[in-house]
Structure 1
Amino acid sequence: MNMPQRIEQDRIMYRSGAAARLAGLPVETLRIWERRYSLSEAERSEHGQRLYSAEQVARLGLLKQLVDQGHAIGVLAGLAREQLQAMLSVGAGDARVSGAPVRIMLVGPSLARRVAAERQGLGLEVRASCARLDGVAELGAATGAQVLVVELSELDDNALPLLAEAREAAAAAATVVLYRFCASATIRALRSLGCLVARVPADLGELSLLCRSALAGQRLPIQEAQAVAPPRFDDEALASIAAAGTRLTCECPRHLSELLLMVGSFERYSAQCANRNPDDARLHAQLGLAAGQARMVLEGALTTLAIADGLPLPPPRN
């Protein structure tokens, strides 16, 4: 029955069918998105059904609108509702920036080639490009670029002085910094300087959006690091699942539980490991992030298996 379900404190929760209908999505699409991208931390009913809050339903509606505009769900999935709303506002068009292509200067080893290969539809005009930050001074401000776009896969504090010099030399109205790995403190420092900071987009259509957002002065609250949810299972819960009887002829629940025990232990260990210098700290932060992401994937698999096989599951953590 696709009716909202009231739970404690009079909060209204919606089952998958109702949530999908309110968001304008086919329920099959919602299920695929949840399975592939873990779109939300939906609660579970006592029968294992997903329950969505009004806030989560609103976010699903924003995702639907942006996907209809041509954005890739894989890019959107990790963004908060506020970010999605900002993207939708920008996508609706700003008369100051939505007409002519945005003039950009590209800095980075691969981004210029990717943009050049995408011959049309980006709404970007590359005025100049170079492989390194120290090459911006030679290009100078004569290019007329509106946005300086810098691609630095491994971004750290050592790049900040070079970025400052490049921004001054380019004299662009806005700066977009793209990274694959970066410490949160470095991202905060760049944002405090007025840069728009984001992960290197898989879809170049997102690059156009970022450039227009930066030029319009809209600082999207891009996530500073990939969020890692707290552990779904503690060691006691994993031990209970491993020891529970199962209708399955294989031992997958036990093996998954043991893997999660190992991954969780390493995640905690990496957080406590001694750091001799800032490079050590960054390395252990990346190790902890990788372990946390692996744990979340395994927890999703174990939850699915436990629900299907009637194994004991602990209540959701707040």
Structure 2
Amino acid sequence: MEHQASSEPQHVSYRSGAAARLAGLSPETLRVWERRYNLSNTERSERGQRLYSAEQVRKLSLLKQLVDQGHAIGVLALMPDAQLQELANAAYTQPDAVGPIRIGVIGSNLAKRIAGSARDRADLVLEYSRSQLEQAAQDAPNASVEVLVIEQSELHDNAVSLIAGIKNRWGAVAVVVLYRFCASATIRALRAQDCLVARVPADVNELALLCRSALTGERLPPQPPSHLPDIRFDESALLTIMASGSGLACECPKHLADLLMMVGSFERYSAQCASRSADDAQLHSDLQRAAGQARAILEAAMEKLATAEGLPMPPTTRL
């Protein structure tokens, strides 16, 4: 049984594992939230386990919903329950932008992509185009533009003041900033200027969704995790390799297996680590992806080493 009745009739209390699952959280995230933000005044069982009421579980579920929308848990934890519910309700009453969106583009590559995707850009009307930020900073605003899209593949902090100046010059126009590589501090600085900041989308349809989000003032939806390489050596297979003999005079198989276990553990940790903000969530996603890529490189080396030395291979590995 994952729930336990208290001494009060009809009162059901849930242990932390069940409460986390019902709220859509991992147990690790719930523990971090409780430790950092003291979210709920939980009761304790005779054995000292936390017990959550149904109302507390509903609050945890509401917090999870709001964090997924991009709100910072550190801010949410300070809000009364009624304010949290109002914030959640606002997401369902936000008016949608309708009709084609008139955009201006700063960035030669993006303008070319839009021009070459006429069949896929029915939601976008290109009203203005410049290749450089400096050009746009000198131009008079185009009154027809609803959303100004700025593309900078390598977005550095020295562009923040220039983009802020362009945004102020263009007044109430919504601004979307796209990048491929950018520091978290630069992203935070641009978001503080009310810019919607995102990675360069794969196709023009995604750009239309970003522009519509900028128009309605919505936060970006949570990004689905990017595909990570499949695990070829689980911990059981690595422990088997570490216990096996090798013709090598050194202990390279053992050391490599140990490295793989550490990298794999960090990959899993990054996936479950609690985030205090949207930037934290993005950082942990980047760390998880980097660890997964490092794991794949080390696994390829382990496969080559195991093949050369006749070490035991996991059944699912195909050579």
TM-score (norm 1): 0.49
Q: RCO (CA 8 Å, sep 6+): is it higher in 1 or 2?
A: 2
TM-score normalised according to structure 2 size: 0.49
CA radius of gyration, larger in = 2
